[in-house]
């Protein structure tokens, strides 16, 4: 199976690396294109099996799946440039472009005789370390095609099949969520420094703690409050700190931030 990836930036590069690292693809099955060569050379150095080109048409020639990973304002030109790749039935167009809905993507390929299955896939930047929370939505895809796309993106973290509406708001939790979680890390580390822990050590401690807290939820399938109960002894230090944070508006600040990002 050949996968053509258009754009070797953060997303395209991470997808190419994630696929190559999975060990499931042979040399030449992953082809990545980019107008400039520096990112392509870096990809090639990391994974020799990734084929690279500065020519988008070459990247999609004979591809079963085309992944478009360029900035939103370039997406229309790129999709229209490569739509000849959908010359036979059963092809897949995967867009990771955040702001372009199915209706627009369909319009861009409207004159193509064999309408491809279209997927909107929104990973977050943790895809570069194989820990993405990725949303997948489909339009006109068969069950087999959807299963394939889910399998591919599950190689690079957690993949969740949703409808387009959920994808739009879920992105706030998962993509913007990276920044929100990291701002907590920075705040907690700064508190640690004030308490006398060196900055680098404080950041490492908070990041590892956050990872452990997330694992408790993911592995136990528990509610956050159940895990919180386990560390809040009556009259103890954790509940004192937690309540102080709530007095300062912790939960409310998080909800307000999410709603602002979602434009609500």
Ligand X SMILES: NC(=O)c1ccc[n+]([C@@H]2O[C@H](COP(=O)([O-])OP(=O)(O)OC[C@H]3O[C@@H](n4cnc5c(N)ncnc54)[C@H](OP(=O)(O)O)[C@@H]3O)[C@@H](O)[C@H]2O)c1
Q: Helix or strand or coil: residue 179? A: helix
Q: Is residue 36 near ligand X by the rule CB under 6 A?
A: yes
Q: Report the DSSP beta bridge partners of residue 138.
A: 119
Q: Is residue 28 near ligand X by the rule CB under 6 A?
A: no
Which lies closer to ligand X via its Cβ, residue 49 or residue 74?
A: 74
Give percent helix, percent strand, percent coil of the chain, each to the nearest 5.
55, 15, 30
- The torsion of the CA quartet 56, 57, 62, 67, rounded to 10 degrees, works out to 30
* Complete edge-to-edge strand list for the sheet that includes strand 132-139: 50-53, 30-33, 3-6, 65-68, 92-95, 117-122, 132-139, 157-161
Residue with token string 């943790």: 126
Closest CA to 12 of 156, 151, 142: 156
Which lies closer to ligand X via its Cβ, residue 94 or residue 189?
A: 94
Which lies closer to ligand X via its Cβ, residue 118 or residue 202?
A: 118
Binding mask 51-80 for ligand X (x = CB under 6 A): -----x------------xxxx-x---x--
Residue numbers 202-261 binding ligand X by CB under 6 A: none
Instruction: Specify whether the CB–CB gap between 30 and 60 falls below 8 A.
Output: no
Which helix H or strand E contains 146, and what residues bound it? helix 143-154
Binding mask 174-193 for ligand X (x = CB under 6 A): -x------------------
Binding footprint of ligand X, residue count (CB under 6 A): 27
Residue with token string 């999975």: 22
Minimum CB distance to ligand X, residue 227 (Å): 28
Which lies closer to ligand X via its Cβ, residue 97 or residue 202?
A: 97
Which lies closer to ligand X via its Cβ, residue 82 or residue 206?
A: 82
Q: Is residue 6 near ligand X by the rule CB under 6 A?
A: yes
Minimum CB distance to ligand X, residue 233 (Å): 39
Which lies closer to ligand X via its Cβ, residue 43 or residue 202?
A: 43
Tokens representing 11 are 């997303």
Q: Helix or strand or coil: residue 68? A: strand
Binding mask 98-117 for ligand X (x = CB under 6 A): x-------------------
Which lies closer to ligand X via its Cβ, residue 74 or residue 216?
A: 74
Residue numbers 119-138 binding ligand X by CB under 6 A: 122-125
Question: Roughly how many angstroms between the first and final C-alpha of the chain, as a whole number?
Answer: 42
Contacts with ligand X, residue ranges (CB under 6 A) = 6-12, 33-36, 39, 56, 69-72, 74, 78, 96-98, 122-125, 175
């Amino acid at each position: 199976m050949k996968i053509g990836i258009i754009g070797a930036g953060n997303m395209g590069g991470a997808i190419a690396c994630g696929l190559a690292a999975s060990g499931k693809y042979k040399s030449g099955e992953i082809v990545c294109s980019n107008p400039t060569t520096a990112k392509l050379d870096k990809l090639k150095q990391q994974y020799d099996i990734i084929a690279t080109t500065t020519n988008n048409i070459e990247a999609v020639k004979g591809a079963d799946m085309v992944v478009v990973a360029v900035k939103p304002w370039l997406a229309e030109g790129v999709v229209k440039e490569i739509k000849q790749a959908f010359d036979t039935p059963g092809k897949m167009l995967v867009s990771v472009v955040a702001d372009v809905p199915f209706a627009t993507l369909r319009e861009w390929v409207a004159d193509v005789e064999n309408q491809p299955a279209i997927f909107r896939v929104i990973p977050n930047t943790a895809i570069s370390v194989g820990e993405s929370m990725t949303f997948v939505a489909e339009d006109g895809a068969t069950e087999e095609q959807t299963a394939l796309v889910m399998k591919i993106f599950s190689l690079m973290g957690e993949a969740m099949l949703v409808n387009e509406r959920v994808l739009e708001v879920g992105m706030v939790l998962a993509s913007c969520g990276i920044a929100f979680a990291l701002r907590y890390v920075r705040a907690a580390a700064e508190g640690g420094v004030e308490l006398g822990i060196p900055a680098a050590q404080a950041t490492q401690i908070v990041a590892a703690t956050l990872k452990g807290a997330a694992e408790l939820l993911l592995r136990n399938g528990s509610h956050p409050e159940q895990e919180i109960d386990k560390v809040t002894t009556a009259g103890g230090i954790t509940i004192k700190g937690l309540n102080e944070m709530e007095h300062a508006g912790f939960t409310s600040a998080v909800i307000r931030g999410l709603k602002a990002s979602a434009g609500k």
